[in-house]
């Protein structure tokens, strides 16, 4: 089972209608488990903490605000006439979900061989292992990244005004991907282009 750091995951037992059962949830490898949640129907209440929620009807365990410390083996034991055991291997992926990249026009249009060139820049909030790329169709034409997670990533692109290719800016990290397509007409300032022709 997989979860993403900072999000919520439920370890679902698939059971229903538990009655007068004693439930123990433990975390850690065999022989070194730590009890993290219990339910004793004689006491009529589950025992867990604010990040854990134990469902009394199914025994399922919900973990809120996942951290990398939650990566590992979780085991439930349900004790009645006999002991029922289930084990879950939780894999926690690090990183946050990316925002959609933003594309802005750079007011520095110029001409090359009588072709009007338009400059744009794509930016996105940086994070762990984030890359920012420009694609022309399915071909990646440039890419950038930074080891400083507290600065935004910027990647510029110069294109012809009459270019009919499809361009897109794509941000990636190990857990998500976001893309924004470039509309050349939207990011071309007509007035500045006309001035560059004179």
With contact defined as beta carbons under 8 Å apart, do 21 and 79 qualify? yes
Domain 2-93 classified CATH 2.60.40.10?
yes
| pTM for this model (two decimals) | 0.53
- CATH superfamily name and code, 102-196: Immunoglobulins (2.60.40.10)
- Over residues 96-152, the pLDDT tens digits come to 678 899 999 887 656 666 677 788 999 999 987 899 999 999 999 999 999 887 889
Under 8 Å CB-to-CB from 102, ≥6 apart: which residues?
Answer: 122, 123, 124, 180
In 3D, which of 36, 33, 57 has the Cα closest to residue 48? 36
* CA separation for the pair 154, 145 (Å, rounded): 9
Domain ranges of the chain: 2-93, 102-196
């Amino acid at each position: 089972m997989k979860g993403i750091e900072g999000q919520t995951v439920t370890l679902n037992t698939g059971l229903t209608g538990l009655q007068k059962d004693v439930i123990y949830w433990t975390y850690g490898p065999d022989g070194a488990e730590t009890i993290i949640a219990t339910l004793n129907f004689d006491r009529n209440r589950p025992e867990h903490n604010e990040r854990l929620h134990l469902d009394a009807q199914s025994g399922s365990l919900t973990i809120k605000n996942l951290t990398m410390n939650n990566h590992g083996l979780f085991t439930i034991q349900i004790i009645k006439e006999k002991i029922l055991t289930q084990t879950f291997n939780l894999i926690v992926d690090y990183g946050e979900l990316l925002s959609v990249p933003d594309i802005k026009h750079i007011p520095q249009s110029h001409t090359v061989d009588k072709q009007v060139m338009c400059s744009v820049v794509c930016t996105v909030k940086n994070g762990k292992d984030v890359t920012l790329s420009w694609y022309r169709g399915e071909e990646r034409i440039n890419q950038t990244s930074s080891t400083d997670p507290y600065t935004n990533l910027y990647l510029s692109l110069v294109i012809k005004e009459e270019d009919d290719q499809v361009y897109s800016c794509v941000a990636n990290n190990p857990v998500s991907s976001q893309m924004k397509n470039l509309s050349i007409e939207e990011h071309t300032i007509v007035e500045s282009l006309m001035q560059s022709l004179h």
